[in-house]
Amino acid sequence: AEADHSLPWVLAVALLDGDLNPAQYEPERIIADDVQQLMRTVTITPDDSFSDRFPQEMPARLTITLDDGSEDGNVFTAEESAYDGFFTQPLDWAGARAKFDALTTPFADQGLRDEISDIVHGLENHRTSDLTAALARVNTTRA
């Protein structure tokens, strides 16, 4: 229950898995040795200048220093002021559909996902009952 509130954990699992979806929140993934080991190397450093830019931006800087035996190590840095889905960088339909599929695949087959997606995408042409009927067919447990 606390994994999503742990920035070191979120960074560690996202770096290892390249993703942050329900699979990463499975109990065995949360406590996995690779995640826990990497998590212990994460240092969070607040930056008042970043805080001052919120809520108009959601800035973050990530610096990774590899312990590869070289004198100074290899250092990689990335900085962003928003993320896909933030109000200044909204998801397009393809991005929303990809996220929908990633989150719902364990609960609905391709046909049902397509049906729900088509209804939502053209919601102005459908009745609420069309959507609720499709949603009622979604598995409530993983398939």
pLDDT in tens, 11-66: 999 999 999 988 899 999 999 999 999 999 999 999 999 999 999 999 999 999 88
Q: Is the pLDDT of residue 8 over 90?
A: yes
Are 113 and 104 contacting, i.e. CB atoms less than 8 angstroms apart? Answer: yes
Alpha carbons within 13 angstroms on the beta-carbon side of residue 75 total 6
- Dump pLDDT digits (tens) for 73-125: 688 999 999 999 999 999 999 999 999 999 999 999 999 999 999 999 999 99
User: Could you tell me the pTM of the whole model?
Assistant: 0.77
Max CA separation in the chain (angstroms): 65
Measure CA of the first residue to CA of the last residue in the chain; give whole Å. 23
Burial class (CB in 10 A: 0-12, 13-18, 19+), 56: exposed
Number of Cβ atoms within 10 Å of the Cβ of 39: 20
Residue 1's pLDDT is 57
The alpha carbon torsion through 103, 106, 108, 111 (nearest 10 deg) reads 90
